[in-house]
Structure 1
Amino acid sequence: MAYTATSTHGGFNLIARFAELVANAKDAYARRAEFNRTYAELQGLSNRELDDIGIRRCDIKDIARDHVYCS
């Protein structure tokens, strides 16, 4: 009985890899911009406003990160 091994080589497909790299960079840039915007908005609130919505000033960075990267 004879067996034939066939394999296909996907190749480098450098253009697709570069396009994916560019797309990932754009996504990372957009997420970082959203993080900065959220962080700045929360930092701009007074202590009273933060207390009214139940946020401590020391938690702002975590809240902004969770909003952008965990949702």
Structure 2
Amino acid sequence: MAYATHTPASLAPQSGFPRFLGSVAARYARYSKYRRSISELSALTNRELSDLGLHRSMIKSVAYEEAYGASA
């Protein structure tokens, strides 16, 4: 007995090179957000940072949490 199945390409899971490109694009977007956050927070004065409840030593960890959603 033989079976035939048909899976339309639009419903098939994404794999191969397009999936790789999507992964690279997502990583680049997160890294860009991280770098932009560091840049913007570094441009603030110590007084402005303290108004936000931050210290200059916390900039990288706050930027990481913003971009990646987890504590460093």
TM-score under structure 2 length normalisation: 0.74
- Displacement of 1:68 in angstroms is 0.7
Aligned equivalent of 2:26: 27
Listed as ranges, the gaps of 5+ residues in structure 1 are 1-14
How is 1:1-71 mapped onto 2 (pairs within 5 angstroms)?
16-70=15-69
CA-to-aligned-CA distance 1:7-60 (integer Å, 9 cap, x gap): xxxxxxxx8211111000000011111111111000000001011111010010
Which residue type is aligned with residue 46 of structure 1? T
Give 1 or 2: higher helix fraction. Answer: 1
- What is the distance in 2 between the residues matched to 1:37 and 1:69? 13
Q: Alignment length, in residue pairs?
A: 57
- What is the distance in 1 between the residues matched to 2:32 and 2:40? 12
Percent identity between the aligned chains? 33
Flag as ranges the 4+ runs of structure 1 deviating above 4 A: none
Compare relative contact order (CA 8 Å, sep 6+) and give the higher one, 1 or 2. Answer: 1
Which residue type is aligned with residue 57 of structure 2? C
- What is the distance in 2 between the residues matched to 1:52 and 1:70? 23
